[in-house]
Structure 1
Amino acid sequence: MAKGGIKFKDSAAAYERLAADVAARRFAPVYLLMGEESYFIDALCDRLAATILDESQRAFGQITVYGRDTEAGQVINLCRQMPMSGDRQVVIVKEAQQMRGLDKLSLYTQQPSPTTVLVLCHKEKSADKRSAFYKGAAAHGAVLESVRPRDYEIAGWLAEHLRRQGLAADGKALSMLTDHLGTDLSKIANELRKLLVSLPEGTKRITDADIEANIGISKDFNNFELCKAVLARDMERSLRIAAHFARNPKDNPLLLTVMALFGQFRQLFLLNYLRWQSRHKGLPFPPDGELMRILRLNNPYALGELKQAAGEWPNRKVFAILGLLREYDAKSKGLNAGGMSDGELLRELLLKIFLL
């Protein structure tokens, strides 16, 4: 969670709201786009740059400067100028966090020009909310605070992102994308754009075969299939997938695999604990809809697999496995790895899990 209680879902909702305003040509005089997650900042800036002025006006009415090459006084002067063509001009400041004297922009944000749209892209961190600069932007313009997602939030965001484009994706296809690409929204969106261009016209649902054919992620050898094999206690298949990972280490980093396994065993731990509460404390066992919310699942089929396998993984084992995964998370980052490769570490980890 970011300072001020902003969560990733809040950032995503704010982005969609502002994007809808841009599409309806409801423009604010100042946009402060700030935070650690650059995807929403870049995407909204691009929308504004392509929408406010038409193509013939941009050459004279739209200027982009960079924070490291300018200072607040210069930006204010640009914003106070009258438009050279039309009734509006656009000033875009990229990497605004590097600007000298950024706080002095409060002289402008507290009284912005009605004929200028100022777009400030403030990356890496959020601006100080106590500053007059921020308060002016919030009072007289629009602020987007963009926070980074947690790994479990990616699948839901991606499913909604596809829905807005009239598409859906199978649960396995979503898992293949998120497990392989991590939490980098820009990377995910870029791969998704390439995928959508490659799909046959009229496609409404993305499958694991589409992911394999167009992005190059194997539909048989990926973290989704590894987690499924481990859950089913299929040691042979698990080690076969691990061997494939060892032959293709760049496409299958150990850190992402450990994160995927940790997420699955965390879900098992919670599911077992809820069952224990139901049996020993008389608390009602949650219905499937509530379970999916608690376990952060978006696929009823995955919930069914977890419930079916939970009996094979009592919490005394799950707790020990979570400890192992924390240990190998550190090893995947080079701590006490003993010079072992990712493939060797993964094989060792899986054998320890199955031998518990």
Structure 2
Amino acid sequence: MAKSALRFRDTVAQYERLTADVAARRYAPVYLLMGDESYFIDALCDQLATGVLGEAERAFNQITVYGKDSETGQIINLCRQMPMMGSYQVVIVKEAQQLRGIEKLSLYTQKPSPTTILIICHKEKSVDKRSAFYKGCTANGAVLESIQPRDYEIVAWLQQFTKQKGLSIDPKALSMLSDHLGTNISKIANELQKLMVSLPAGTTKITDADIEANIGISKDFNNFELCKAVMTRDMARALMIADHFARNPKDNPLLLTIMALFGQFRDLFVVNYLRWLSRHKGQPFPQDTELMRTLRKNNAFVINEIKQHAALWDNRKVFQILGLLREYDAKSKGLNTGGAPEGELLRELLLKIFLL
């Protein structure tokens, strides 16, 4: 099956449209919620599960089944039933990726009941878009394809997420979260929800101190601070942070550290190349707004930092460092490590970077 052409931003836009429709009580008879990012699937399913029917109605007119324990015929029969003393009944199919013969639900999705709202939660992957089942869902219902974000997309989503909660978040706190938790937005959202409950009344901005106090990520020993030390050529500080990582390997996986460093050096390489084009080819060096688009950043302060750091690193060395990071990316996954622990591998990598 061909890879989806959708992007994470398409998922976010579709999710926002559907949540707005549900809030306005504009319901579709069928919701197919599918894809490899579970956050949006769970969030929209929860909104429907708690918003369509009142608490008293849910006892009679809402049922949840699980794909592994169900059959398509059983689900179709449930959907064909009439609601008891209400306008709708809600049928939720969780873990639908485990439902055998899910394509047979096309017998229902091609002509769904107007008094039933069927919610199909199909995680881990998308259904076959060539199937009659999928085509029935798109023609007669609503489809959300939930795509995982790339590393460069997570910061913008985090800023929007906190803004919707009435808060802002400073750049270091953003970096601490994204570097430590990666692109798992379900985990990030869960940690932020817990943090927001713990913040003092009247708080308007999440800081690095809040992240350290409530999520357990050190504000002094994290990938943000390590990258900053490397970019500014502070070898002593970088090795001190690496020693902390070695003592706390579960909280500081090598793979995430390498990804953070790779992103930093990739940005330096691009800026230095653009400077070379400006000096040797007469091409104008991009304005900050254009650089923000090129580097996929949304903060002018970050752009200024990247330009300052790029001046400290010759691109021939940056190119070699990117090669080193690819080599240690493989080692972080267990290839050719010689049995060395992650802390030793990180220290070895940093020494190679600084001594180039």
CA distance in 2, matches of 1:295, 1:265: 12
Instruction: Please report how far the alpha carbon of residue 169 of structure 1 lies from its aligned counterpart in structure 2 after TM superposition.
Output: 0.3
Instruction: Tell me by how many angstroms 1:281 deviates.
Output: 2.0
- 1:305-327 Cα shifts (integer Å, max 9, x gaps): 11112121111000000000001
CA distance in 2: counterparts of 1:106 and 1:282, whole angstroms? 60
1:267 aligns with 2:284: no
> Shift of residue 289 of structure 1?
1.2
How far has the Cα of 1:166 moved from its partner?
1.3
Within the alignment, does 1:331 sit opposite 2:338 as a pair?
A: no
Unaligned runs of 5+ in 1: none
State the shift of 1:276 in Å.
1.4
Which amino acid in structure 2 is aligned with residue 308 of structure 1?
Answer: Q
Distance (Å, rounded) in 2 between the aligned partners of 1:72 and 1:122 = 14
Distance in 2 between residues matched to 1:298 and 1:184, nearest whole Å:
20
Q: Which amino acid aligns with 2:185?
A: L
What residue in structure 1 maps to residue 204 of structure 2?
204
CA deviations 1:149-201 (Å, max 9, x no partner) are 11111111111111111111000000000101111111111100110000011
Q: Which residue of 2 aligns with 1:315?
A: 315
The DSSP-based 3-state class of the residue aligned with 2:228 is helix
Note the C-alpha offset of 1:3: 2.6
Report % sequence identity: 75
Q: Provide the residue aligned with 2:96 in structure 1.
A: 96
TM-score (norm 1): 0.98
- 2:54 is aligned to 54
Q: Give, as a single letter, the amino acid of the residue that structure 2 aligns with 1:282.
A: G
The CA distance in 2 between the partners of 1:160 and 1:232, in whole Å, is 30
1:221 aligns to what?
A: 221
The aligned amino acid for 2:212 is E
Cα distance in 2 for partners of 1:34, 1:87 equals: 27
**Secondary structure of 1:86 counterpart:** coil
Q: d(CA) in 2 for partners of 1:85 and 1:345?
A: 65
SS of structure 1 residue aligned to 2:31:
strand
How far apart are the structure 2 equivalents of 1:289 and 1:52?
Answer: 44
Aligned to 2:232: 232
Hey, what's the Cα distance between the residues in 2 that align with 1:193 and 1:157? Answer: 15
- Rounded to whole Å, the distance in 2 between the matches of 1:105 and 1:298 is 44
Report how far residue 284 of structure 1 moved: 2.1
Q: Match of 2:240, SS? A: helix
Structure 1 CA distance for aligned equivalents of residues 283 and 71 of structure 2: 61
Shift of 1:25: 1.1
2:347 aligned partner, one-letter code: R
Tell me which moved more, 136-145 or 274-283: 274-283
Q: Which residue matches 1:38?
A: 38
Residue equivalent to 2:73: 73
User: Counterpart in 2 of 1:349?
Assistant: 349
What residue number does 2:301 align with? 301
**How far apart are 1:254 and its partner, in Å?**
0.6
Which residue identity is paired with 1:95?
A: E
The CA distance in 2 between the partners of 1:92 and 1:257, in whole Å, is 40
What CA distance in whole angstroms lies between the structure 2 residues aligned with 1:269 and 1:191? 33
Q: Aligned partner of 1:25: which letter?
A: R
Q: Determine the structure 1 residue equivalent to 2:277.
A: 277
Which deviations, in whole Å up to 9, do the C-alpha atoms of 1:116-139 show, x marking residues without a partner?
A: 000000111111111111011001
Instruction: Tell me which residue corresponds to 2:105.
Output: 105
Q: Deviations over 1:299-344 (max 9, x none)?
A: 2222111111212111100000000000111111111111111111
* 1:168 corresponds to: 168
Q: 2 CA distance for matches of 1:17 and 1:295? A: 28
Residue 117 of structure 2 aligns to a residue whose secondary structure is strand
Q: Which residue of 2 aligns with 1:253?
A: 253
Question: Partner of 1:154: helix, strand, or coil?
Answer: helix
Measure the CA separation in 1 of the matches of 2:6 and 2:112.
26
Tell which deviates more after alignment, 293-302 or 342-351: 293-302
Cα distance in 1 for residues equivalent to 2:299 and 2:228: 14
Provide, for residues 59-98 of structure 1, a one-character-per-residue CA deviation record: whole Å limited to 9, x for no partner: 1100000111111111111001000131100000011111
AA aligned opposite 1:231: M
Secondary structure (helix, strand or coil) at the match of 2:48 reads helix
Aligned-pair CA distance for 1:148:
1.1
Given residue 73 of structure 2, which amino acid in structure 1 is its aligned partner? G
Q: What residue in structure 1 maps to residue 189 of structure 2?
A: 189
Letter in 1 for 2:65: V
Displacement of 1:282 in angstroms is 2.0
More divergent stretch after superposition (175-184 vs 306-315): 306-315
SS of match in other structure, 1:137: helix
Segment of structure 1 superposing worse, 2-11 or 63-72: 2-11
Q: Letter of the aligned partner of 1:299 in structure 2?
A: N
**Unmatched tracts of structure 2, length 5 or more:** none
In structure 2, the residue matched to 1:20 is: 20
